[in-house]
Amino acid sequence: MVEAGEFVVPGEELGFSEEFIPGRGTYEENGRIFASLTGVLKIDMKERRIEVEPKTNTIPEPRVGDVAICRVVDVKQQFALVRLIRLLRSSRELPGNVYGTIHISQLRSSYVQDIDREIKVGDIVLAKVTNTRRVPIALSTVATNLGAIKAYCTTCNIALKLQGRRLVCPNCGRYESRKYSSEYGKGVI
């Protein structure tokens, strides 16, 4: 049996599910708890929880409160579907396809009558994770620092520039409406 503070590797047996609750970096199989990460074993005797604190660069997982950089892939009548690219707290891209939705009521703090005026397919947006217990993940762009950080002209597909408080296409001069972030065009990507 390994002890708290010891270095463990994936697959190493840590304890039994009758003794401990498997925590982060562990998994249970046939009543036994194993390490799923490389790291240091932590045991919380008060809560009877066993976990592995990673010592390698792990793949980030979205958590409630995280801000994610997302690409809009579809816009429906009541929500926008986005693919999460990466979390601001991490320099690593999220693996695979992690999707989220931004409901029309979570686009801005004021009433939104037409979702199409606020968000478009192809936009890159900053969105806050509000619920990870459902798939796709629930997101919000209500805060002023959230929303589009890069948007494209629906006619020319050229990146829109922020002029004053309006987004304009440098190619055709078309003005477009979006729920944009206070970080728009500042190179957060």
Q: What are the pLDDT digits (tens) for 114-165? A: 999 999 999 999 999 999 988 899 999 999 999 999 999 999 999 999 998 8
Three-state DSSP class for residue 105 = helix
pLDDT of residue 3: 85
Q: Tell me if 21 sits within 8 A of 49, measured CB to CB.
A: yes
User: CATH 2.40.50.140 residue ranges in the chain?
Assistant: 67-176
- pLDDT score, position 104: 95
- Segment 4-13 shows an average pLDDT of 90
Radius of gyration (Cα) for the chain, nearest Å?
A: 22
CB count within 10 Å of CB 54 equals: 15
Q: Where in the chain is the domain with CATH 2.40.50.100?
A: 7-54
Alpha carbon distance 87, 63 (integer Å)? 9
- What's the CA gap between 94 and 85, in Å, rounded? 6
- pLDDT for the residue numbered 189: 57
Q: Which CATH architecture has domain 67-176?
A: Beta Barrel (2.40)
- Please provide the CATH number assigned to the domain covering 7-54: 2.40.50.100
At 92 the three-state DSSP class reads coil
